[in-house]
Amino acid sequence: MNGLPREVRVVEVGPRDGLQNEPDPVATTVKIELIEALAAAGLKTVEATSFVSPRWIPQLADAHEVLRGLRRAEGVSYPVLVPNLRGLERARAAGADSVAIFTAASDTFSRKNTNATVSESLERLAPVASAARAAGLPVRGYISCVLGCPYEGDVPLQRVTAVANDLIQMGCHEISLGDTIGIGTPAAARTMVEHVAGVTGMARLAVHFHDTRGQSLANILACLQAGITVVDASVAGLGGCPYAAGASGNVATEDLVYMLHGLDIETGVDLTALVRAGHAVSRALGRAPNSRLGRLPEYESRQTSIDEPKD
């Protein structure tokens, strides 16, 4: 196929985007083991947790313990989400090596997520980005609802581009474009990234698809053909809320890596080790993995033979 990159950096967001929605408490040790297994599988960026208000996201209230408890692998970065200066202070106290700030292309979603309109959130985030950069921490910026909002419907491309530009002006090294509700389809996704890249450049962009309507892989392929080389994903398809109809996790990292390797695109990820990480966390959560690959008997048996004692 034409126009595909030779290499893609997969940004693993399962420990954060995936686990933030779990209805039952997840042990800190399970989170740490997951993050360590993902790094051991070859992922170079593993978003570890969030230093947001525990009133808003109780599931990640142990962010400090998670980040402090990790055995960090060389060459791997463990970004964390921060919503405000308080979050940045907490992230620094826990030894964060990089941070991500987040806003949206829709005011209603932004208010529901952070109690601030988009412009209020950008005002709140500007000092966070500059303090993080002054402390030597790279800053990623997320934009939610880039292909549609659950409350406002269609989102104008100009709005997405304007917010991306604001985040770049604040010093974000990368902008992750979030299809929060998995509403996009391939042509719309490609048009959107090309539009934003007209202002930011393609090299600064990442894509972040939730798989609500099963469109993620098709959308990612269309974005790769447009020049995208950074893709977010969640191991075992973690994410979504079992109590909110239709909410869904990100594209499963296993399925993404399978597609990329099939296209001869390098990721540096050991697919078998990744599937095992997905099995292990799914076992800990008491359910089957939500990746297509992780449900295949051939991967189940591969896992069993690896897990068997050697003697």
- DSSP single-letter state for residue 55: T
Minimum Å distance from CB 93 to ligand HMG?
Answer: 11
- At 209, list the tokens: 């698809």
Interface with ligand HMG (CB under 6 A): 17, 20, 50-57, 81, 83-84, 86-87, 90, 102, 113-115, 142, 144, 178, 180, 208, 210
Minimum Å distance from CB 57 to ligand HMG?
Answer: 4
Minimum Å distance from CB 299 to Mg ion?
Answer: 25
Number of residues this chain uses to bind Mg ion (CB under 5 A): 1
Minimum Å distance from CB 72 to ligand HMG?
Answer: 22
Amino acid at 298: E
For ligand HMG, which is the closer residue by CB, 20 or 98? 20
Spatial CB neighbours of 238, under 8 Å, sequence gap ≥ 6: 14, 17, 18, 19, 249, 250, 281, 290
- At 301, list the tokens: 């048996």
Q: Which of 145, 149, 223, 241 is catalytic?
A: 241
For ligand HMG, which is the closer residue by CB, 106 or 282? 106
Name the nearest CA neighbour of 283 among 219, 215, 226, 235: 235
CB under 5 to 8 A by kind: which of Mg ion, ligand HMG, none does 304 bind? Answer: none
Distance (Å, whole) CA 92 – CA 96:
5
For ligand HMG, which is the closer residue by CB, 116 or 222? 116
Minimum Å distance from CB 183 to Mg ion?
Answer: 13
For Mg ion, which is the closer residue by CB, 216 or 303? 216
- DSSP single-letter state for residue 115: S
Amino acid at 224: L
Backbone angles phi, psi at 41, to 5 degrees: -80, -5
Distance (Å, whole) CA 115 – CA 131:
22
Backbone angles phi, psi at 216, to 5 degrees: -55, -55
Name the nearest CA neighbour of 251 among 290, 300, 302: 290
Name the nearest CA neighbour of 27 among 296, 286, 297: 286
Which residue's beta carbon is nearest to the bound Mg ion?
Answer: 17
CB under 5 to 8 A by kind: which of ligand HMG, Mg ion, none does 53 bind? Answer: ligand HMG
Minimum Å distance from CB 170 to Mg ion?
Answer: 20
Q: Does 17 bind Mg ion (CB under 5 A)?
A: yes
For ligand HMG, which is the closer residue by CB, 54 or 156? 54
State yes or no: is 241 an active-site residue: yes
Q: CA angle 59-178-272, nearest 5°?
A: 70
In the chain the first and final C-alpha atoms are separated, in Å, by: 46
Amino acid at 22: E
Element (H, E) at 177: strand 174-179
CB under 5 to 8 A by kind: which of ligand HMG, Mg ion, none does 51 bind? Answer: ligand HMG
For Mg ion, which is the closer residue by CB, 17 or 255? 17
Give me the active site residues, please.
241
